[in-house]
Copies of this chain bind each other. A is one copy, B any other.
């Protein structure tokens, strides 16, 4: 931490800061500049949040952190990249992980149609919501456990692995009984009770970035799960809130190279939620792979115009198959495969 004093802060205020820094177990280091005095606090970073409160002391202008606040998620701690294994599917390896399926599980026919179609096109993981977080209490809220059973049936029928969202800490054991990967949705990225619960489950977790979460906050939420010694965390960029309304969210592909620099965890991208419109999904899926993503999550529905949720952003099976052919070419161009 660097503690910047106000211009003209009297010596006794500087001395008070030095006293407090020492008291908290750090070694103070003073730099007297031409305009300002700066106090460095040297020492183990644990408990550094206590230093932050020194900003409330008289004469202190601000307190600047020097270290990244995440540890287990950091590449500094673990330089080699994590590969999450889900049965025989690997996420974070050279072969891209393709997750696809409907927004919500609506019926057996709808789910199986979707599952066979996405498998035929190259997907290895089936997505589908049984518990749905909906902005409106009047919207379809998902089939619940019945939906989970249909997902398990689809796995049996197709061999695809299953990723599905969990909303309530209490439901984690139930969902973990059926799913191969537990999904934490964007709206729950900082639902710490839920993060702790999936940290305790012995299942891989797909953690979606909150729509107003910084990349650092995403990594701090991953840190919650990792701190329970659940190391199988997959990060997912799915669009952030900005002023632009031509897309439903702004898919932030910059997060891909930033995360590859900061963390060893695999990173996938969801261009369906990220853009909100089927017409833009293919371009952004290709771009995600070119940027270095480890996989994609894409909404596919046999009849988008009849979907109970998110029809506007769902691809038909035919469009999805066409997309996977394009993705195979991009994957090859960046030294990977589909």
Residues of A at the B interface (CB closer than 8 Å) are: 2, 4, 7-8, 20, 29, 31-36, 38, 40, 42-46, 49-50, 52-57, 64, 66-67, 69-70, 76, 133-140, 167-171, 187-188, 190-194, 210-212, 214-217, 220, 223-224, 227, 240-247, 250-258, 260-261, 274-275, 278-280, 282-284, 286-292, 304-309, 311-312, 314, 326, 329-330, 332-334
Contact = CB atoms under 8 A, between A and B. Distances in A.
A258 B242 contact: no
A135 B43 contact: no
Contacts of A133: 190, 192
A66 B283 contact: no
B169 A170 contact: yes
Given A57-B305, A191-B194, 8 more contacts: A49-B309, A55-B311, A214-B243, A242-B250, A254-B274, A254-B284, A286-B291, A330-B330
A234 B253 CA distance: 23
A253 B250 CA distance: 9
B242 A242 contact: yes
Contacts of A40: 31, 33, 38, 40
Contacts of A194: 191
Contacts of A260: 283
Contact of A242 (B29, B217, B243, B329): B243
A251 B256 CA distance: 12
A140 B50 CA distance: 10
A59 to B, nearest CB: 11
Given A169-B168, A333-B330, A135 B190 contact: yes
A219 to B, nearest CB: 10
Contacts of A326: 333-334
B246 A53 contact: no
Contact of A214 (B38, B246, B292): B246
Q: Residue among A69, A70, A169, A287 with the most chain B CB within 10 A? A: A287
Contacts of A34: 42-45
Nearest to A281: B257
A306 B55 CA distance: 10
Contacts of A215: 244, 246
A255 to B, nearest CB: 8
Contact of A35 (B4, B57, B67, B246): B67
A314 B260 CA distance: 20
Given A53-B304, A241-B212, A243-B242, A223 B290 contact: no
A53 B250 contact: no
B36 A67 contact: yes
Q: Residue among A227, A244, A256, A284 with the most chain B CB within 10 A? A: A244
Q: Residue among A46, A243, A247 with the most chain B CB within 10 A? A: A243
A296 to B, nearest CB: 12
Nearest to A72: B137
A194 to B, nearest CB: 8
A254 B254 contact: no
A13 B289 CA distance: 34
Nearest to A274: B254
A305 B49 contact: no
